[in-house]
Structure 1
Amino acid sequence: MATVLKPLPPQPVARLRLAPRSPFPRPIDGAWWPRSRDLLVELPLLIGALPAAWGQIAGITVNSAMWFSGPGRMLVEGHVVRLHRTEGSHGRHTICLISPGHGRWDLLVVPPEVDAGDAEPLMAAAAAATAR
């Protein structure tokens, strides 16, 4: 009797929209719409979807009010990523990604419970944000 192997379910893809490359800094570099508030699940998907030109992300700053608690660092794609948390309403719906020698990027975070009809226009607007 032959064993039938079932294919593994596909990995979810990060819901991410990035602004076009620009030599000028932007207030927001794009938008990310995670599926949950669990950074341990969501960050590997986000980091895996980033352009190679952004380099290796070493630090991420998030607002504590937006996310479930988690560790101060985690292993993502074979390297350590340090997680920094901020308090208060400033930056509640953003995430800051740091890549030493490559730069800093700030993404609008669309809360996971927002429906697609509302999330898509927010993401498109963030990806079209003009330079500072």
Structure 2
Amino acid sequence: MTSVPQVAQVAADAAWLRLSLKSTAPVTGYVDGGWWPHSRDLGAEASALARAVTLRLGPVREIAYALAAWNPAPRHVGLDTTTEGRRVRLVGFASQDPSVVLVTGTSGRTLGLLVVPPETTDPAGHDAMDRAARAGNAESPSALLAAAGVRPDPRVPAPRRARP
């Protein structure tokens, strides 16, 4: 049973959080939705994201991210006292696509989310999130961002390509 404080916290997060998910229909494409954080401080952003996707994944175990795309992050973030002190592990990888975070629940289910850079203008940011959450969308993260007019941050290296 979900407690009233948990419901209130999720509602507060929803008003602040910029997140759009595909429906729970059969999964297609590279990503399951789009997330537009307010900053490159994953330690500050991760708790609200983890609480918001709990309805889809169950309790969140970890968030995997590209090291080059974020400011240095702690290894864990706490959710809050209403979740019995649960913590989410933040796992950074040098080889991960900087335009994606992978959110994994304790059930083992994972959501891949397009990360819209925080500096993006409102029209382009909303367009990128909408494209990422569109049913049947199978575009790559870089194609989604480009189609929305989002330019890559020159400070963040492009994802590595597989060698032929």
**Structure-1 residue corresponding to 2:147:** none
The verdict on how the C-alpha distance between 1:16 and 1:24 changes in structure 2, with shifts beyond 3 A counting, is: closer
Q: Gaps (5+ residues) in structure 1?
A: 1-9
Structure number with higher helix proportion: 2
**Structure-2 residue corresponding to 1:85:** 92
Q: Quick check: 1:22 aligned with 2:28? A: no
Structure number with higher strand proportion: 1
Match of 1:117 among 123, 129, 132: 123
Q: What per-residue deviation string (whole Å, max 9, x for no partner) do you get for residues 74-129 of structure 1?
A: 222321211111114x4111000011225110000000000011111111110015
CA contact (8 A) 2:68 2:94 kept: yes
Q: What per-residue deviation string (whole Å, max 9, x for no partner) do you get for residues 6-32 of structure 1?
A: xxxx87611000001123454210000
CA contact (8 A) 1:26 1:129 kept: no
Partner AA of 1:32 in structure 2: W
The verdict on how the C-alpha distance between 1:21 and 1:108 changes in structure 2, with shifts beyond 3 A counting, is: same
CA contact (8 A) 1:15 1:33 kept: yes
CA contact (8 A) 2:46 2:77 kept: no
TM-score norm. by structure 1 comes to 0.82
| SS of structure 2 residue aligned to 1:111 | coil
CA contact (8 A) 1:17 1:124 kept: yes
Which structure has the greater CA radius of gyration?
Answer: 1
The CA distance in 2 between the partners of 1:84 and 1:51, in whole Å, is 18
**Structure-2 residue corresponding to 1:94:** 100
Partner AA of 1:95 in structure 2: V
Please provide the CA RMSD for this pair: 2.1
Q: Gaps (5+ residues) in structure 2?
A: 1-11, 139-164
Which aligned pairs between 1:8-19 and structure 2 lie closer than 5 A?
A: 13-19=16-22
**Could you list the runs of 4 or more consecutive aligned residues of structure 1 that deviate by over 6 angstroms after TM superposition?**
none
TM-score norm. by structure 2 comes to 0.67
The CA distance in 2 between the partners of 1:100 and 1:26, in whole Å, is 23
